[in-house]
Amino acid sequence: MSTTTPYAHAFTSDNVAGAAPEIIDAVARAAAGPAAPYGADDVTADVRRRLCEIFERDVDVLIVSTGSAANALSLAALTPPWGSVLCHRDSHINNDECGAPEFYTAGAKLVPLPGADAKIDPGALRAAARHKRGDVHSVEPSVVSVTQATEAGAVYTLDELRTLGAVAEETGLRLHMDGARFAGAVAALGCSPAETTWRAGVDLLSFGATKNGTMTADAIVVFDRSLTPELAFRAKRAGQLASKMRFHAAQLDAYLTDGLWLRNAARANAMAARLQEGLKTVPGVHLPGTAEANIVFCHLPQQVVDALLAEGYAFYHDRWEPGVVRLVTSFATTAQDVDGLVDAVRRLAV
């Protein structure tokens, strides 16, 4: 039996990675001396300034401690209790938030939609946006939430986002983006953050950072600033207004300094591409799609899955169909990690 710790060879999630050294250092610096509480400190102001520069316009920023809080609070500000949130059936908010969007919206309904690669199909969105609109016997279509990058490891192109944004505008929907892996999508597209958000019609962005190097800090980036007062009250009521906000802000400030957020994401993407190319060379391994960010799905023989687990490799499997595994890389994944996994699969597949 293997004596390897369960996370010695972890490809379960980018959440298993530690924090970037630059972020650890920033938190230590923030501990020196007093600072104004509840986000009135200079570091929090710097985060907003940096995000205004990154998104090429004035934005408001609410720093929160989790992506779940960013998503749920954003949707609550965009959706009445009698409304509905149109999202992909494989989205994180539909499958992995323990009902937080429904709870924070006081009862709004999530309506799952189809689409390849966990991307919302525009035709399905248009139909759902018009379904029973104005009918008091049904929930009112209110907002569409897109995930960038998707839970399948795909990335919406700029044209795809513009199309969904146009449908949202045409049908009177607000547009939220779950950007848990937003940096990975921007790095993959090679575009400006503005192009993939507000210029495509996004009203609120859940700006993910914990999967890409921070410890306890994500944020809501507010493009429609008329929503800010409500969001501020909702964040406080939800316990997301940290008294010592400077420690969250210090993480994001370092994350955004000198392009660290994009460098980390580019590394995670590159490691996923290396993994994908390596697995393609192994007989008996099938990759159903192309990883565009840092998530790779593949079909492995069951004996290979069992043997990898016994050797201490960690990954999700059998959540989709037998033999399908999900492998996730992070900014901390090394070429040695990837090559070791590929070599193990090759050895065990014989």
Residue 211 is encoded by which pair of tokens? Answer: 């999967």
In tens, the pLDDT along 255-307 reads 999 999 999 999 999 999 999 999 999 998 999 878 899 999 999 999 999 99
218: Cβ contacts below 8 Å, ≥ 6 apart: 63, 64, 65, 66, 67, 69, 70, 206, 207, 208, 209, 210
Q: Is pTM, for the whole model, over 0.85? A: yes
Q: How many other C-beta atoms are found inside a 10 Å radius of the C-beta of residue 224?
A: 16
Taking the C-alpha atoms of residue 84 and residue 181, their distance in angstroms, rounded to an integer, is 24
Beta strands in 193-318 (DSSP E): 204-207, 218-222, 295-299, 313-314, 316-317
Residues 6+ apart with CB under 8 A from 49: none
Give CA–CA dist 302/298, Å, rounded. Answer: 12
Residue 7 has pLDDT above 60, yes or no: no
pLDDT tens digit string along 129-185?
A: 999 999 999 999 999 999 999 999 999 999 999 999 999 999 999 999 999 999 999
CB-based burial label for 182 (10 Å; 0-12, 13-18, 19+):
buried
- Per-residue pLDDT reduced to its tens digit, 45-100: 999 999 999 999 999 999 999 999 999 999 999 999 999 999 999 999 999 999 99
Residue 221 identity: V
Checking if the pLDDT of 4 tops 50, the result is no
Give how far Cα 163 sits from Cα of 123, 125, 156, 158, 196, Å: 10, 11, 10, 9, 12
324-328/295-299 β-pairing? antiparallel
Q: What is the pLDDT of residues 194-229, one digit of tens each?
A: 999 999 999 999 999 999 999 999 999 999 999 999
pLDDT, residue 6, reads 54
Diameter over CA atoms, the chain: 62
Q: What is the reported pLDDT for 1? A: 38
What percentage of the chain reaches a pLDDT higher than 90?
A: 93
